[in-house]
Amino acid sequence: MAESRLSVKTRAVLGLIAEGHGYAQIVDAHPGLTYLDIFAAAEEALRLDEAPSDYERRMAEIKRRHPRAYTPWSPEEDRELDAMFRRGEIAAAMAVHLCRQPSAIRSRLAKLGLGGPADDPGGTR
């Protein structure tokens, strides 16, 4: 089962509503809950309902500009990255060549022990 992104309190409130309890029944039977908790639960659920579409749009845009973004690195890509780094190429050029975000290039360089953000503060190497 997938992990819920809703808070514990929101899940409890929404569960009671789904069981058919009215606002007054919820507040009267559960001293730890207030009307404001019920309204906050509804707002949280609506926010999460909108979030995936926003996330999906952002991911689609990132993937459009960087087709290999968020995909596992292959050994061949690691070799190419290493070779480009040793030739002194800048992170932006490596990103274009490898179809990845410049931040991913810097992170992978650091993971491979070849450098990191401190070595390339402006994205120039």
At 40-77, the pLDDT tens digits run 898 888 887 765 567 788 888 999 999 999 999 999 99
The CA distance from 48 to 118, in Å, is 36
Percent of the chain predicted with pLDDT > 90: 54
For the stretch 84-106, pLDDT in tens is 999 999 999 999 999 999 989 98
Q: Which residue has the higher pLDDT, 115 or 12?
A: 12
Q: Taking the domains of the chain in order of start, what are their residue ranges?
A: 8-63, 75-119
